Every structure is written in structure tokens, then in C-alpha cells.
Amino acid sequence: MKLKKVMAVGLASVMAMSMAACGSSSSTSTASTGEAAGSTAAASGASEGGSSASGVSYADIKLGETDTDLKAEIKVLTNRTDMMKDDYNGKNWASYIEDFNKIYPNIKINMEGVTDYASDTLTRLQGGSWGDVMLIPAIDKADLPNYFLPYGSVDEMSKLNRFADSWSYDGQCYGVATVGNAQGVVYNKKVFQDAGITELPKTPDEFLADLKTIKEKTDAIPLYTNYAAGWTMSAWDGYVTGTATGDAKYFNQVLPHTRDPFSDPGDGTHAYNVYKILYEAVKNGYTEDDYTTTDWESSKSKLNNGEIATMMLGSWAFGQMQAAGDHPDDVGYMPFPMTVNGKQYSSTSPDYSFGIAKDLPAEEEEASLIWVKWITEESGWAYNENCMPVAQDITKFPALFDAFDGVEYVTDEPALEGEEDLVNNLNSTSELAINAGGDAKVQAIVEAASTGSETFDDIMNEWNQKWDDAMDAEGVEAVDSAA
Amino acid sequence: MSQTTEVSAKPKKTFSEWAHSKQGRKAGVVIAFTIIPVVLLLVFTYIPFGEMVGYSFYKMKYIGPRKFVGWANYKEIFRRKDIIQTLLLSLYYMAGAVIQIILALYLATILSMKVKCGNLFKGLIFFPYLINGIAIGFIFKFFYTRGFVLDSVLQAIGFHLNNLPYWLKDKRVNNMSLVYSSVWRYVGQNVILFIGAIMSVDDTLYEAAELDGATKFQTFRYVILPSIKTIVVLNVVLSITGSLSAFEAPFVITTGANGTGTFFVVMNRIAHTNQRVGLASAMAVFLLCLIFIATIAQRLGFKYAFRNMDAEDEVMSGKKNKKKKGGK
């Protein structure tokens, strides 16, 4: 009898396993048929020229006028779980929704904070029925029409919003960026004042001279490398694109066809001169004493209270620096010290983008469109969070962009058709991983500068060699960048 | 006899009948009990490993098309200085492993004798093993930070800060600093294993040794060590192979920068940051071969080293061994 029981248990478990297998396969198959059906629907919708079920297009919505008595309930997924809390240091979601409901009292917004956002939403997206509005996770652009509602054509949307082409497919725009980030340098205004620096540096030489002055006249660390954590040095790669070239096409279209991209162009611009700032700063002792034990968390408060003068970080870091101590007003943000043909540039890039589920009931779809438009245009969210607003007609930038007058914002253009993977492939084969987590190579600059084991030109030649070899291996033709 | 006649009498026994017979049930139980672990083992270990060996012959990323390149990835491993050099770092970790084993043997021997607060010490020594590896990384980063814990302690006993090296920055000492953190973490585990082994040694042997007037060291050399030989060898083998694949300490404390990138850290970078899955797979296979070679070499080495001890062992506890051999 016992044997029978054991067998039964064994059998049951085997059955359960096979059932589970069946279950998963059947669910994926239904999902895929759903997708297929959906994509045809989306295609037909797109051919009609944008939004379908509700018949309302994003561009036509006038906040406060269009359908203010609309009744709907929508679910919105967010990665900002900190803003779900009542004690959030700033304006939380509840207050934004309250503001929203003053104009649209009958639209109920259900916010859901997702902690492990990037991976959780990918899974939920496959599963379907996740809600109405989400921040588009890392999916292939070709999959966009299978899951999301097109807002309109990219041409039309780029008149309204920045970064309209960041989530686009086949000329349709599927994502409205939440906020934008710019590349610059975080600095402590008081330290600069104490050192007697009145004008912000505009070239690498001026910047290095300022670091020297700071070292001589104050106790602050002129430039904190944040070497140890690795990722905290990623901004150095970030400057290489639009900031150092003024060319929106540079990173995705020019760089992959450039031989020896790390050579000195002689005019104080491009990658060579970006990384050279780091090398020179370390070599001359303008950085912290022991770079191997830098600590990201404490660096924030050190910048806040004036123990650190500058750090190379994107604008996203500004708010964190302000919040890290008692001197938020001392924290400043300046353009990267590099001037291309008499002008300074700053690369901008979108943060997550709002995507709206396709095939929603008409009311939910319209409510979602209204919410996305409201949060990006009227809520003041980007301003409150110290980020770049997305809507083109918002001229009120948060205070951190004060020093960016006359600086031109450049957003990287996507790769040419047929070359979408080219930069990735070259990055992979050359192992330089520019803007793809290649922190090790930036760390190596610090090491070489500190120990004197390699000259800067040797490092750049080595990178040139790697890049050229990768171009050969991938069979990429070089195009004269001057042409 | 009766069974065979039964079978021949009923040649067309149906499956369900067979399944209900005693044999059938037995087979069913055996299958039911083994199928799950075997399936898990195949699905999560051997099949992925086979796949990985396959990947090592391709130029590929995680997604996207792949291209067969033959042995090119393996050739690249040997051609590239930066990869081969990382293996030299393993020497630091191997030296650390040897020190760790000796230290653990010493502590275990002392703690297995009658010591005051023995259990407290055992607990204290074992404790680091229970701490999460990431937390240990952070502990040691602050421990080695200029002017922090280690420097303060050394200053307190008379060193001058200017004479002290930068523990993580100075390339002459930074790997030793990292090795120390891993010795600190794992020595407790070895101690506990050794104590367990020493406890199982027959008490009468100690008494006999004492009566013969053996010193403590002689007791250790001729009684304890031969008795716990197997577990010592096992720990040495595990530690040495472990030091070939050292990962956590350099990854968490220094992110493998500043000349501390071990083979594993570099492999991780090539696989994940650079997405060169083919090359990384080839590195993994190469490392596996190295570990095989190291393990076999060690086994042979120990066989040679202990050949005399075996003889002594037999003399010391001849009865026991004879019994065993008789049993065979």
C-alpha cells in the first residue's frame, strides 16, 4: 500500500511538472496569437493615422478643455516607488493626482509602484493585462506596435515633445518621454567662490586651471573621480557624443565609420580631449588621494558641504546632491567645459517613456492620453524633480539649467537604417563599450595617470587600435568624417 | 524457476499488469525517485554546459545572429596578455589558500583540545563565514580606506601613516589585501570542518600518545594529521580550485580595477559588459580544463606526499586498517 502511495506521489509530481510545461506553452501560444491579431489591428489603426478606439489624437487634446467630464479608471505603472510614499521629500504621486483631478474629476488614476521595474515590467508586458500606462521597458522597437498605442507620427510628435524618435517604429511614435537628462558637471558654487573663480570654465584648459586654483586656495578635492564604484564614471563616456562634438549624428552615425576616433583633432574637442581632462587631473593631483576607496554615497554629502568641488555626472545627480546635506543652494550644475567652434553643447537623453497599452476601451485610452499629456506638460513634475521638461513649449527649466544659457542641447539621432546594431557590435568587438558600461577603460586612465605606467597618447593609440581592429572584424567601411 | 514459467505462460502481460506487479512497482519507485534529480541535473547543469561549450566556437552576443569561428576564441585567450596575466593573480589566492589551511589546522588543533571559552572562539572564528559576501566587500572597502580602520589600528601600535601603503591603490599590496579578506572569511569554515574531523579521532590514540610521552606537536604530526588526512586533502583541493576562480572579493571591493581583475572578473566583464559570449564561454571551458588539471595534479601530488604517512598510519592504527581491508 505504501508503495502505491509513493508511486502516486511520484506520478503526481511528474504530472504536475508536465502540466506546468503544458500550461506555460499554451499561455505563450495564446499570447502570440493575441499579438498577431493585435499587430494587424495596430497596423490598420496606424494606416488610419494614429489613435483608434477613442478617435482622439494626442496632438488634439487640449488640457482642461477636451472631455473634462470623461469618466474612466486607469492603472499607471511607475518606477518611482519613492514617490508613492506620503513622506516623499518633494511632491508625491498622490498630490499630482489630486491636482489632475481638479481638471478631470472623473478620471481615477491608480498608481502602482514597481520596485524591480526594468525586469518586472518586461514579464508583465508579455503576460498582458498589466494596466493602461507604463514606462516602456527595454524591448525591441519592432515589438512596439504589438504592445503600445501610437501617439502619432514622429514628425508630428517631435513638434510637441523632445525625444519623440526615441521610441519610434515605422515613423510612428510610441513613447512620450517622462523627463530628459542633460550632460554637464555637478559643482559646489561656494568652493568656486572661495577660490575666486567667477566665470565658469568653457574649455578643458580653463577647467584644469580652475581645478588648480581650487587645490591651491581651498581644502576641497577639486575633482572627485568616484572611481571605485565604476558606473559612477560613466559620464565620461557620455560627454563623448554630442557634448564634445556638437553633432547629433556623431555617436550612432559618424563614430562607427571613423578610423582612429580617439586621435587628437587639435581643436580641444572630441573624445581625446574629454578623457585627457581626467588624465591630466589625476596626474596633477587634482583628484582625491586614494581613488580606490572612493564612496558614492558619501560623495553626495561631501559635494553638498563643500569638501568636493566638482564631479562628472549627468543632471540626474543634481537633485541627489542637493538632498544629501544642509547646503542645497551651494550645489550647482554647469555645462561640460568644452567649446566646439565657439559654442558649448550638452547631450540630452530621455529617461523612461510613457507607453499606452493598445486595444484599450475608448474611455480608458482617452484618459491615458490625457494623463500622459498632463503629467508631461502641465504638472510641473519635471521641474519639481530637477529634470529637463519634455514638452517643447515649456521654457521654464529648473534652476540647475541656469548656467546653460547659450548652450545648445543635442540629442543623439538614431542609427541609419540597416546599421542599428553597428555601434553595439563595434563596442562589443573592441571591448571599449563606449556608453555601454565600459567603465573599466575609464578606470584604467586613472590608474595610468596615477602610476605613470602609460602616457595618455599611448592609451588613446591603444583604443584606436582596438576600434580599428573591430571595424575590420565587422567589415565596416571608414567614411572620412570631414566630408 | 517459477517466475520464468509465469512469464512464459503469460507472454502478453499488459503494461498495467506489469506496473502493478512487485517488480513493476519497484521499478516505478526507482524511476519516480531518480527522475526528478536526474532531470534537474540535466536541465540545469549538463545541457547548459553543453550549450556553453557550443557557444565557445561562435562569435555571438546574447541576442542577434551568431557566426561559427572554430577555435578562434581559444586562440584569442592565449594571444591576449590581459587574459593570461589574470591567471598569475591566482597565485596570490593559492598562497592565501595554503596559509588559510595551515592557520585553520592550527586553530582547529588548539580548539579541539581543552581551551577556556572554546565554543566562544569557535563561534567568533566561524562568524565571518555567515556574513553575506557583498557586505564583506563593503566592510573591507572601509577597512582599507586611507586613515580608516586598518590605518588607525596600525597607527595606534606605532606605525606612521606616511609609512603605510595605500592598501587598495598600491599595486604591490592590493591583491594581498583582497586575499586577506577572503582568508578572513573562509578560515572559519575550514576550522569547523577540521574540528569535526579531529573530534572523530579515537580518544584512546591520544591517551596512547600521551603515555608514550609524545609532545603536542608529535601528537598532531603522528596522530591527528594522519587521521584527518582525507578532509585536509579535500579542503586543499577545494581551496586551490577555488582560488583559480576567485571572484567575489575583487568584484565587490575593487570591481576588478587597478590590476585586481581575476580570471573570473575579466570573464564576467567580457561576457556581460562587452557581450562577447563566445569568447567568455571559451574562457569558461579553458578555466574548467585548468581546474581539472590542477585537481588531478594535486591528487597525484598528495598520493606521493602521503605515501610514507600511509605506511606510518598503518603502523599507528594497524588494527583498524586491517579490519577495513578484511572487510573488502
Task: Summarize pLDDT for A30-41 with one digit per residue, the tens.
Answer: 333 333 333 434
pLDDT of A482 reads: 45
pLDDT of A32 reads: 38
pLDDT digits (tens, 9 = 90+) for A212-264: 999 999 999 999 999 988 889 989 999 999 999 999 999 999 999 999 999 99
Nearest to B29 among A6, A293, A444 (CB): A6
pLDDT digits (tens, 9 = 90+) for B20-31: 888 888 888 888
pLDDT digits (tens, 9 = 90+) for A66-97: 888 899 999 999 998 888 988 887 889 999 99
For residue A329, pLDDT over 70 is answered with yes
pLDDT of A132 reads: 93
What average pLDDT does range A40-65 have in this prediction? 63
For residue A121, pLDDT over 90 is answered with no
> What torsion, rounded to 10 degrees, do the Cα atoms B231, B234, B239, B242 define?
-140
For residue A15, pLDDT over 90 is answered with no
Nearest to B273 among A229, A293, A438 (CB): A438
- Which of A5, A292, A424, A445 best probes binding to B when mutated, by most B CB atoms within 10 angstroms? A292
Neighbours of B132 (CB within 10 A): 8
Q: What is the mean pLDDT of chain A?
A: 85
pLDDT digits (tens, 9 = 90+) for A411-461: 988 888 888 888 988 998 999 999 888 889 999 999 999 999 999 999 999
pLDDT of B11 reads: 60
More confident call, A477 vs B92 = B92
In the block, cell 592609451 appears at A459
Query: Which of B96, B146, B126 is closest to B262 using CA atoms?
Result: B96
pLDDT of B113 reads: 81
Closest approach of A12 to chain B, Cα-based (Å): 10
Closest approach of B234 to chain A, Cα-based (Å): 35
- Side chain identity at residue B18, one-letter code: W
Contact residues, chain A, for B255 at CB < 8 Å:
228-230, 439-440, 443
pLDDT digits (tens, 9 = 90+) for B194-252: 999 998 888 888 888 888 888 888 888 888 888 888 899 889 888 888 888 889 889 98
CB-based contact A293 B168, cutoff 8 Å: yes
CB-based contact A431 B270, cutoff 8 Å: yes
A280: number of CA atoms within 13 Å, CB side?
15
What average pLDDT does range B265-291 have in this prediction? 92
Residue A200 in contact with partner chain B when CB distance is under 8 A: no
Nearest to A443 among B28, B145, B257 (CB): B257
For residue A481, pLDDT over 60 is answered with no
Nearest to A10 among B33, B273, B275 (CB): B33
Q: Scanning every residue of chain B, which has its alpha carbon at the shortest distance from the alpha carbon of A447?
A: B258
What average pLDDT does range B290-310 have in this prediction? 83
pLDDT of A331 reads: 93
What are the phi and psi torsion angles at A348 (to 5°)?
A: -120, 150
CB-based contact A292 B166, cutoff 8 Å: yes
What average pLDDT does range B41-54 have in this prediction? 94
pLDDT of A341 reads: 92
Q: CA A245: distance to chain centroid?
A: 19
CB-based contact A7 B29, cutoff 8 Å: yes
Contact residues, chain A, for B168 at CB < 8 Å:
290, 292-293
Nearest to B255 among A17, A228, A436 (CB): A228
pLDDT of A47 reads: 39
- Which of A221, A232, A426, A428 best probes binding to B when mutated, by most B CB atoms within 10 angstroms? A428
Q: What is the mean pLDDT of chain B?
A: 85
For residue B133, pLDDT over 70 is answered with yes
pLDDT of A21 reads: 41
pLDDT of A22 reads: 41
pLDDT of B12 reads: 67
pLDDT of B115 reads: 82
Where does the pLDDT of residue A464 fall: very low under 50, low under 70, confident under 90, or very high at 90 and above? Answer: very high
The number of C-beta contacts closer than 8 angstroms across A and B is: 91
For residue A159, pLDDT over 80 is answered with yes
pLDDT of A50 reads: 44
Q: Scanning every residue of chain A, which has its alpha carbon at the shortest distance from the alpha carbon of B166?
A: A290
Closest approach of A292 to chain B, Cα-based (Å): 6
For residue B138, pLDDT over 90 is answered with no
Q: Scanning every residue of chain A, which has its alpha carbon at the shortest distance from the alpha carbon of B172?
A: A451
What average pLDDT does range A466-474 have in this prediction? 93
Q: Scanning every residue of chain A, which has its alpha carbon at the shortest distance from the alpha carbon of B261?
A: A440
Interface confidence (ipTM) of the complex: 0.76
Nearest to A428 among B141, B174, B275 (CB): B275
Nearest to A7 among B32, B146, B273 (CB): B32
